[in-house]
Structure 1
Amino acid sequence: MTMRLSVSHASLGLALSVWAAVGWAEEAQPNGPPPGGSFGIASSGESFGDHPRLFPELREAGVSMVRSFPEWPGLEPERGTFTWEIADRLVESGRKNGIQIFGIFCYLAPWASSAPANAGHGARTRTFPIKDIAFWREYVEAAVARYRNDIVCWEVYNEFNSSGFAQNATVKDYVGLVKNAYEVAKKAHPDCRIGIGCADVDLSFLEQVVVQGAGGCFDFINVHPYSLMDAAMAGRETIFLRMVANLRKMLQKTGQRPDIELWVSEIGVTSTNDAAAERRQAEGIVKAFTLSFGQGVEKVFWFEGRGPAYGAGGDFGIVRNDWSRRPSFTALQTMTRLLGANPRRLGWLNPTGQSYGFVFQGAAEPVLTIWASSEKGDTLRFPADVTVTDIAGRSTPLKGGTDLALARVPVFVTGLPEKLVAEAKGNRDKPFPWLRDFSQAETVSCRMGQANVEEGVTQNEGGDGKTVTGLVDGIYARRTDIGRRSEYMYFDVDDSYASVGDHDLEISVTARAANPEKGARFNLTYEAAKGYRDTPDEFRLSSAAEWQTYTFKLSDANFANNWGWNFRIRMCGSPGDVWVKEVTVKRNGPKK
């Protein structure tokens, strides 16, 4: 349906738009949308046209919500002209398959953007400020009214804190989108729910959105913790397990309701069609949902159902390009079969201290999802008979008193003894036992070596932060590798020592030039109150073949694990590499 409105009579035109939308909605779905469960899929523009074939697959996997909606430019190519056909088909596919659409308002119609007329499509649809906020209000109200009987939940924009999606943009621009969307959406559909969001877990951005005027104008918060997922897959689940506490801390600090729902509206692990990569992705999908639900996240949307393609890097889909199902599809299907559409968090178990265990009220009974915390594995022994199901859906009876060998890949345990279920329930609101408490420590540190000695500071290895280990004067240390484009060393400080609100920090680095004749220099990139920034000062190592210590003093730190790390040693422009022996962090003042 294409609908032409008179721009010269904007208010009348919008009223006609809403009237027409209401008529379609009442005719289409008089009994309201299908119930949306906790397991979702986030779908990209690349795979948007796949929904007639993809949605039946997703429903078979146990998915009941899909985050997807046509972009504003395609819905309103010129002001007052709405073309709804592609959105209608998407919503109809959802109805046929019992899937609720989770809509997104994005990006900008070219005629509403402040980009120059000769700019490329990306710039024309993503350049701020918007020419007139009335344009946005008309678009949002028309979409919400038309689909009020099909779409309950809407997210305001996609990853506004990313320059790839919002160019020349400010926090105030996003606040304007949020406040106006909330106002007109609630008028068009009082029972709809509006969410705000960000790329990764950008607490600094979200805090600024709230304090600059969006407080009270959202019903839930969305995050995209890809970096935290990377950390979990590298054996650092504890970083992921701090996510919800940090979000709740931000909400409390900004005076928001304590019961605002937290959603993960994108998370994923890429895979090629290589068997090892697909097994890793299957492991990742179970951990993503479990680590999120285990903290109290309400809904999780895996990115993606099928595609998008990233060349040799593979894609995120649980369905391959040829429509065959990956192991991650089976893992998700197994999980939804056992846990049901809306698993309820009962608590955690830590039977040996060497594994992560989370108990949920599943479809028919309590279910324990558990895996070893390290490559060393773990061994459990249950006092009574249980059933163990692997992520491929294979179930095996296990006699009481028999050893269960755990690896890094999760398994599901059912038939749990009542005593273990009661223990998990008793643990539900207690701090996770895997998280150490450094709040009273004077300093925290990481002593580098073949196996680092990490006391509150963790070095994150990999990517452009892949280090070389070696002996220097009889002491093991780690160095950068500029020749192989590893110019950084990444570090994470335990949240119990320094996190959101702990601004005054000192970071001391003990290092020496790998080649004294060349010399070396570096500064830090760190999480600040307004995003990551570089220190203006740098450590210039002398030509002496000896260890030297330099202290960076920060007054605006705000360690929130937005990208899975708090600070990094930055060697850009250095004539040579640097050996690092130790990194120490000191918090000035009490824990915030």
Structure 2
Amino acid sequence: MKRFLVFLAALAPLVPPVFGDEALSPWGVGSCYSNNRSAADNARWIPQMEEIGLHSYRTPHTDWGALETTPGQWKWEALDQQMDYLTQHGMNFGGTLIGTPKWNTKDRPGSLPVNNIEGWSAYVSAVVGHAKGRIQRWEVWNEPPNFTGKNQKPADYAKIVASAYDAAKAADPSCLIGLAAKSAHINYLEQVIQAGAKDHFDFITLHPYEILNGVVEDAGTESVFLHIVPTLRKMLAAQDPAKANVPVIFTELGCDAKKGLDVQANALVKAYVMGIAEGVACIEWFEGRDGDSGPMGLLDGKGNPRPSYEAMKHLIEHLGQHPKYLGWILLNDRHYAFAFQGAKTTALVTWAHTPEANAVQFGKAVQIVSVTSGESRTAKDLTLTTAPALVLDAPEDLLKKAAANKDKPVPWDGDYSKAQSVSLTMGEQHAERGLHTLSGESLAKAVVVYGGAARAGNVPGGNVFVVDPEFLSYTTTPIEIEVVVRRNEANDNSGFKLVYESRTGFKTAGGWYTVPDNKEWHTQKWRIDDPQFVNYWGYNFSLVSDGNVYNKYYLQSVTVRKLEK
């Protein structure tokens, strides 16, 4: 066994992701505004983060307007106190370059300060120079194009990034600059790089809430989450090859506790496990304690721990500060399991691919740990559900298979990397062949019409589609999308438009399509020459109706085909 563990360790990364001289743990946390204005705000919850081993923190309050309250007048006391406090509690923190102060009359409040680049550069130089030796990594703005001017374009953000990069490097040559985007908006990042940010960043930050939501809601979209970083790297290799392998941080990611406390905890486990597996350097969970952004915290508004807090604690306890990812395996050829060299022994984190429970036999006694309660038991089998379980000292044959898969993409019900088409058949004969909906497999099977040959077009998530990322992601290839539809039994007027991900964001293909009647099935096709599927909202295309008026149609099948250029 000892020799085998040495073999597994050799397959894993030898060192954790490194920022300059700084090794960053994947276990991170962030905060809303009201819990992060000062050291006093942090004191309400940071000690509880430290207690469970959380040491990576997004940012103290470094807003331009808070530091330079009037032109040339700098107030550093609050920031210094906050950095001192975070340091005392073992936090490794970055910084955020952001803000348009009220005195900057050249730019509208809340917009990128493109009309005052001189003032922006002076702010960047001052704060980076002041924090030199304490803050190394600086992300530029918060999830653009959010929190930018109404009509501001990627080129405007590119100007802000390039000027920040130059000013920051002059003030502290060892600092690192982060290019940012909302969600997993890789299309936007591509445009920013093309507009002037090329070679002006050292890492990238994303906030893929929407993609995680598909996992949370049991839509089976784990593969989409696992392709965030690979898809990003495809774009970087094409647009800025020198930066193709820069570190990636999810500086925000979370789950609303209103979805259910256990749901939030399960989401946290899956996000960290899959994030580490795909090479995310750090996930800074949003957030530590409830504040002004809804019930998203590991702690509630009174400071009481939620199950997600306990889940974070037990993950860190068993996987260690710098987990070594060993690979993946599908238990029973179906269910996700990710292997790690943990703090003391090997560990598998696993859950069911679909909501139906499924029994797995290990062939030997293993230790099974509840990630939320920390309770453990010894057993030879495990009934998998969508709630993750931690299996310690897993059988060697499973670990060997996981290690062999380490550099392979995790499949989504089959290998579609070389397919020329993917399709989805509705109804009782429901079949997803590389094409899926956000309604989830179970709901898709449950809501059927026309004798079981179709599904209603108003099923939640049933008109929102995701292609297998191995079939098509980022690369712009001409495609044809075909749908087979008919009106409902009452022959109500119905129709939709096809909206898809393109290089410039979501676009409508053609115009409005009215379903002719309910007498027979009708086939409608669209040729699309500029798709760029990156799942920045967690899906690739949708059939959009106006409210509930025109969605009274039934879908029999949907097909996506690659065409010759």
- TM-score by length of structure 1 reads 0.85
Q: Which amino acid aligns with 1:148?
A: K
Q: Which amino acid aligns with 1:564?
A: G
Of stretches 240-249 and 317-326 in structure 1, the one that deviates more from structure 2 is: 240-249
State the match for 2:325 in structure 1: 345
Among residues 64, 73, 76, which one is paired with 1:84 in the alignment?
A: 76
Contact kept in structure 2, 1:469 and 1:479, CA below 8 Å: no
Write the distance in 2 (CA, Å) between the matches of 1:373 and 1:516: 37
What is the root-mean-square deviation of aligned Cα atoms in Å?
Answer: 2.6
State the match for 2:269 in structure 1: 286
Write the distance in 1 (CA, Å) between the matches of 2:209 and 2:250: 10
Contact kept in structure 2, 1:263 and 1:300, CA below 8 Å: yes
Write the distance in 1 (CA, Å) between the matches of 2:51 and 2:547: 53
Deviation at 1:559, TM superposition (A): 0.8
Among residues 357, 367, 371, which one is paired with 2:351 in the alignment?
A: 371
Change (3 A) 1:161 1:395: same
Contact kept in structure 2, 1:334 and 1:391, CA below 8 Å: yes
Q: Which amino acid aligns with 1:559?
A: F
Among residues 101, 110, 127, which one is paired with 1:126 in the alignment?
A: 110
Write the distance in 2 (CA, Å) between the matches of 1:360 and 1:136: 44
Write the distance in 1 (CA, Å) between the matches of 2:248 and 2:169: 20
Of stretches 471-480 and 226-235 in structure 1, the one that deviates more from structure 2 is: 471-480
Secondary structure (helix, strand or coil) at the match of 1:525 reads strand
Q: Which amino acid aligns with 1:337?
A: E
Among residues 533, 545, 562, which one is paired with 1:571 in the alignment?
A: 545
User: For residues 363-512 of structure 1, what are the structure 2 equivalents within 5 Å?
Assistant: 363-398=343-378, 402-434=380-412, 436-450=414-428, 452-461=430-439, 469-472=447-450, 475-480=453-458, 489-512=463-486
Change (3 A) 1:385 1:319: same
State the match for 1:202 in structure 2: 185
Do residues 42 (structure 1) and 30 (structure 2) align?
yes
Deviation at 1:546, TM superposition (A): 2.4
User: For residues 131-170 of structure 1, what are the structure 2 equivalents within 5 Å?
Assistant: 131-162=115-146, 164-170=147-153
Do residues 63 (structure 1) and 46 (structure 2) align?
no
Secondary structure (helix, strand or coil) at the match of 1:348 reads strand
Write the distance in 2 (CA, Å) between the matches of 1:85 and 1:68: 16
Q: Which amino acid aligns with 1:161?
A: P
Deviation at 1:387, TM superposition (A): 1.9
State the match for 1:23 in structure 2: none
Of stretches 213-222 and 542-551 in structure 1, the one that deviates more from structure 2 is: 542-551
Contact kept in structure 2, 1:195 and 1:218, CA below 8 Å: yes
Write the distance in 1 (CA, Å) between the matches of 2:521 and 2:382: 48
State the match for 2:230 in structure 1: 245
Over residues 461-495 of structure 1, what are the superposed CA-to-partner deviations in whole Å (9 max), with x where a residue is unaligned?
Answer: 28xx99993422663322227xxxx6982111112
State the match for 1:582 in structure 2: 557
Of stretches 249-258 and 280-289 in structure 1, the one that deviates more from structure 2 is: 249-258
Unaligned runs of 5+ in 2: 1-19
Deviation at 1:325, TM superposition (A): 0.6
Secondary structure (helix, strand or coil) at the match of 1:285 reads helix
Deviation at 1:413, TM superposition (A): 2.0
Q: Which amino acid aligns with 1:126?
A: G
Write the distance in 2 (CA, Å) between the matches of 1:473 and 1:372: 30
Do residues 540 (structure 1) and 532 (structure 2) align?
no
State the match for 2:311 in structure 1: 331
Change (3 A) 1:523 1:574: farther
Contact kept in structure 2, 1:467 and 1:478, CA below 8 Å: no
Q: Which amino acid aligns with 2:253?
A: I
Q: Which amino acid aligns with 1:389?
A: V
Over residues 205-250 of structure 1, what are the superposed CA-to-partner deviations in whole Å (9 max), with x where a residue is unaligned?
Answer: 1111222221211111111111110111223212212222211111
Write the distance in 1 (CA, Å) between the matches of 2:462 and 2:356: 28
State the match for 2:6 in structure 1: none
Among residues 265, 269, 272, which one is paired with 2:251 in the alignment?
A: 265
Change (3 A) 1:261 1:128: closer
Over residues 100-146 of structure 1, what are the superposed CA-to-partner deviations in whole Å (9 max), with x where a residue is unaligned?
Answer: 2221111222333645xxxxxxxx43224522211111111111111
Secondary structure (helix, strand or coil) at the match of 2:321 reads coil
Deviation at 1:52, TM superposition (A): 1.4
Of stretches 169-178 and 344-353 in structure 1, the one that deviates more from structure 2 is: 344-353
Change (3 A) 1:413 1:542: closer
Deviation at 1:518, TM superposition (A): 4.2
Change (3 A) 1:580 1:382: closer
Q: Which amino acid aligns with 2:70?
A: E
Deviation at 1:298, TM superposition (A): 1.1
Write the distance in 2 (CA, Å) between the matches of 1:261 and 1:54: 28
Deviation at 1:530, TM superposition (A): 0.6
Q: Which amino acid aligns with 1:89?
A: Q
Q: Which amino acid aligns with 2:32?
A: S
- TM-score by length of structure 2 reads 0.88
State the match for 2:94 in structure 1: 102
Write the distance in 1 (CA, Å) between the matches of 2:88 and 2:253: 26
Contact kept in structure 2, 1:502 and 1:558, CA below 8 Å: yes
Deviation at 1:393, TM superposition (A): 4.3
State the match for 2:104 in structure 1: 112
Deviation at 1:309, TM superposition (A): 4.8
Contact kept in structure 2, 1:36 and 1:99, CA below 8 Å: no
Tell me the matched-pair count. Answer: 536
Deviation at 1:88, TM superposition (A): 1.8
Q: Which amino acid aligns with 1:38?
A: P
Among residues 30, 47, 52, which one is paired with 2:43 in the alignment?
A: 52
Change (3 A) 1:306 1:406: same
State the match for 1:5 in structure 2: none
Contact kept in structure 2, 1:443 and 1:585, CA below 8 Å: yes
Write the distance in 2 (CA, Å) between the matches of 1:510 and 1:382: 44
Contact kept in structure 2, 1:201 and 1:224, CA below 8 Å: yes
Contact kept in structure 2, 1:129 and 1:169, CA below 8 Å: no
Among residues 172, 185, 204, which one is paired with 2:168 in the alignment?
A: 185
Secondary structure (helix, strand or coil) at the match of 2:169 reads helix
Change (3 A) 1:88 1:450: farther
Contact kept in structure 1, 2:444 and 2:455, CA below 8 Å: no
Contact kept in structure 1, 2:478 and 2:531, CA below 8 Å: yes
Q: Which amino acid aligns with 2:137?
A: C
Contact kept in structure 2, 1:55 and 1:93, CA below 8 Å: no
Deviation at 1:531, TM superposition (A): 0.7
Deviation at 1:588, TM superposition (A): 0.9
Contact kept in structure 2, 1:113 and 1:130, CA below 8 Å: no
Secondary structure (helix, strand or coil) at the match of 1:248 reads helix
- State the percentage of identical aligned residues: 30
Contact kept in structure 1, 2:337 and 2:348, CA below 8 Å: yes
Of stretches 282-291 and 242-251 in structure 1, the one that deviates more from structure 2 is: 242-251
Over residues 353-394 of structure 1, what are the superposed CA-to-partner deviations in whole Å (9 max), with x where a residue is unaligned?
Answer: 232111122223322211121222333333444322111243
**Which structure ranks higher in relative contact order (CA pairs < 8 Å, sequence separation ≥ 6)?**
2
Deviation at 1:501, TM superposition (A): 1.9
Write the distance in 2 (CA, Å) between the matches of 1:244 and 1:87: 33
Write the distance in 1 (CA, Å) between the matches of 2:397 and 2:438: 38
Unaligned runs of 5+ in 1: 1-31, 116-123
